[in-house]
Amino acid sequence: MHVPDGFFDAVVSVSSGFVAAAAVALCLRGARRELDDRTAPMAGLVAAFVFAVQMLNFPVAAGTSGHLMGGALAAVLVGPYTGVLCMAVVLIVQALFFADGGLTALGVNVSIMGVVTVLTGWAVFRLVTRAARGKGAVTAAAFLSALVSVPVSALVFTALFAVGGTAPIDVGAVAAAMGGVHVLIGLGEGAITAVTVGTVLAVRPDLVYGARGLARPLVLRGADGTTTEVGAARETRPGGLRPFVLGGLGLTLVLAGIVSFFASSAPDGLESVAEDKGFLGSATDHLFGSWALADYGEVGGIPVGVAGVVGVGLTLLVGAGVASAVRTRS
């Protein structure tokens, strides 16, 4: 649901830019409490993974496709503050290097695809995991959080367009269309999120930020029969983080470099609704639309897999750099 240039007037574009900048600034401070020896190495990997999976459009209806947004996934894996930073990195790399999402709409995209999806996803996740505990509950909560976050972000887009869109719309009709198609996309997002979180839980449960409360307290028993709780035991695996990070990066490169060739070419939910409801024509050309990597290599004749690998590398470097800088500052 990358919003192009031209959809919004200057007031909404600038206002959304301030909101996005303020949210990122707040999250830079909040992430200091999340970025520890486990979360920091994961941040760059999560950003790169979200970038790769966003390339994999899947069909959801006749002539319409969808792709992962990733806000709920990022929040569950690395925490809500760090999750917003990961999403901002992905969206900035996409806008600057791949002409995916408008430059004037960058604030809108960070706000609805980053902030709204992360906050909504995290709120739903926490609500579910407070009612039920265990790894199964975490996986189910991840599915529900992702499912809900997608149509919520679509409805926020509709509300913003009603306020400052550059074309007249029937708000009710657009809201129904956006909500309907993005519920279908949310089902795909929920499945991807649940599989990813469930896999990490099975391999390295200590790396799932949202599951840290699952570990049982470590109890020391004295010779006299007394017991003392010394905190939650950390579930770890031998070999440190390097094998997991390298394995995750390898999978991410396969998704971006190979699986991306099989992604659906149908327009995504926003583009499909915009065409059907008559406001797609308000979109304007991207300033960097003639760059070689624009539209993931299609403009410059670069194979999509090569563009995907380049994007994964850029996102990983920027995401890891931001996480390292925030952690060092803390």
- Retrieve residue 193's tokens: 């999120």
Instruction: Let me know if residue 3 belongs to a domain.
Output: no
Give me the pLDDT at residue 226, please: 62
Mean pLDDT of the chain: 93
Predicted local confidence at residue 225, as pLDDT: 59
Q: How far apart are CA 63 and CA 271, in angstroms?
A: 11
| 192 to 20, 25, 112, 195, 199: CA distances (angstroms) | 26, 29, 20, 5, 11
Range of the domain at 83: 10-329
- Does residue 5 sit within a domain? no
- Asked if the structure places residue 1 within a domain, the reply is no
pLDDT tens string 244-296:
999 999 999 999 999 999 999 999 999 999 999 999 999 999 999 999 999 99
Residue 211 maps to a domain: yes
Give CA–CA dist 310/122, Å, rounded: 30
Question: Is 65 contained in some domain?
Answer: yes
Amino acid 318: pLDDT: 97
Domain annotation covers residue 2: no
Whole-prediction pTM value? 0.92
> According to the model, what pLDDT value does residue 236 have?
47
**Low-confidence residues of the chain, pLDDT below 70?**
215-239, 330
Q: How many domains does the chain have?
A: 1
Does any domain span residue 167? yes
d(C-alpha 179, C-alpha 167), whole Å: 19
Return the pLDDT at 290.
95
User: Does residue 124 sit within a domain?
Assistant: yes
- Find the CATH number of the domain harbouring 323: 1.10.1760.20
